[in-house]
Amino acid sequence: MKSIREQVAAWARTASPWIIHFNSGSCNGCDIETVAALTPRFDVERFGIVQHGTPRHADVLIVTGAISKQQKDRLVRIYNQMAAPKFVVALGACACGGGVLQGCYGVLGGADKIIPVDLYVPGCPPRPEALIDGIVKLLSGIKGVENA
């Protein structure tokens, strides 16, 4: 049984997670599907999710694309700028493990080689529904609900 303080903290964290989207060498497919998830057909705002431009205000970092050598340091910097508690979602096959770009000389591999990843959403690119499902699972995980 969680203490009341933990319960309140979990409620506060899950009521309105703000996301920041970072393109770490993606082909744009996952990025466009992330934006599509915000628009009327899918509308993630009904879960209180808002996309935000600055890492200091965001709770969830969505990483798309295999990590390119140029973007590696920037990704670490953005991750460090985010205030705890922070969560990382690797969106798409490339961010999960390199995908089709595995072995390219400018690519280091999946996002988990650089920063800790909490949730993997596979697909090339994942449908907006997959992203929504992933984020809902992430939120249930934060709340402590089992078998979400």
Partner 1 sequence: MPKVIVPLGPQHPALKEPGNFTLMLEGEEIVDAALRLGYNHRGIEKAAESRNFIQAMYLIERVCGICSHAHATCYVTNVENICGLELPRRAQAIRVITGELERIHSHLLWLGVAAHEIGFDTLFMYSWRDREYIMDALETLSGNRVHYSINTIGGVRRDIGKEQIEDILKKLDLVESRTNYYIKLATQEPTLHARTMGVGKLPKEEALKRDACGPLLRASGVARDVRKDDPYLLYGELDFKVITSDACDVFGRVYVRVFEILESVKILRQVLNNMPQGPVSVKMPPKVPAGESVTRYEAPRGEDIHYVKTDGGVNPSRVKLRAPTLANFESVAYMLKGDQLADAPLIIAAIDPCFSCTDRMAVVDKLSGQSQIETFKDLRLKSIEHYKRKGIDFSKL
Residues in the site for partner 1, rule: CB under 8 A? 22-33, 35-36, 39-41, 52-55, 65-66, 68-71, 74, 78, 100-101, 103-107, 124-125, 127
Smallest distance from the beta carbon of 148 to partner 1, in angstroms?
25
Smallest distance from the beta carbon of 52 to partner 1, in angstroms?
8
CA separation, residue 102 to residues 67, 108, 129 (Å) = 10, 8, 26
Query: Residue 99 in contact with residue 64, Cβ under 8 Å?
Result: no
Smallest distance from the beta carbon of 38 to partner 1, in angstroms?
8
Nearer to partner 1, 14 or 64 (CB): 64
Q: What share of the chain is helix, strand, coil (3-state, %, to 5)?
A: 45, 20, 35
Nearer to partner 1, 55 or 141 (CB): 55
Nearer to partner 1, 83 or 148 (CB): 83
Nearer to partner 1, 1 or 53 (CB): 53
Smallest distance from the beta carbon of 147 to partner 1, in angstroms?
29
Strands (E), the chain: 18-23, 50-51, 60-64, 67-68, 87-91, 107-109, 119-121
Smallest distance from the beta carbon of 136 to partner 1, in angstroms?
20
Query: Residue 19 in contact with residue 49, Cβ under 8 Å?
Result: yes
Nearer to partner 1, 48 or 106 (CB): 106
CA distance 7 to 67: 36
Spatial CB neighbours of 116, under 8 Å, sequence gap ≥ 6: 88
